[in-house]
Amino acid sequence: MKKTELSELLHSVGIQVNEGISSEGKFPRIVYWPYLEEDVMASGEGYENKVTYQVSLFSKEPQGKAYKILRKKLREKGLHPMFQHEYVEKDKFFANSWHTFFSIEVIEEIEDGK
């Protein structure tokens, strides 16, 4: 999967999606960001960049409608990540909400000079 495909999949859920920055007070919402990167040889020439993203879904209900839609769309793409769920009781942005998260690897092309 490429990063553009991940972004399109997340936006197709029909809720607010942000890369790297969470919007205060909006529920449900998805926030995703890269946290691991690794160079990978591609066909013996050049490199691709394998990037692991964390995808977080914040909701006021456990495993609600947005979660079910997201999971269905991932399954349709043949993707079956391990989901983790936690209740956040006290936090500046996420108080009294459910945080569901998973990691997913994507491939990004490395541009010249980077």
DSSP state of 27: S
pTM score of the predicted model: 0.86
Angle at Cα 55 formed by Cα 66 and Cα 2, nearest 5°?
A: 105
Q: What is the pLDDT of residues 15-70, one digit of tens each?
A: 999 998 876 668 899 999 999 998 887 676 667 889 999 999 999 999 999 999 99
- 84: Cβ–Cβ under 8 A, 6 or more apart, which residues? 100, 101, 102
C-alpha to C-alpha distance for 22 and 81, rounded to whole angstroms:
22
Q: What is the pLDDT of residue 91?
A: 62
Q: What is the pLDDT of residues 58-102, one digit of tens each?
A: 999 999 999 999 999 999 999 999 999 999 887 656 667 899 999
Strand boundaries in the chain, DSSP class E: 16-19, 29-42, 45-59, 84-88, 97-109
- 80: Cβ–Cβ under 8 A, 6 or more apart, which residues? 74
β-pairing, 97-109 with 84-88?
antiparallel
Q: What is the pLDDT of residue 96?
A: 79
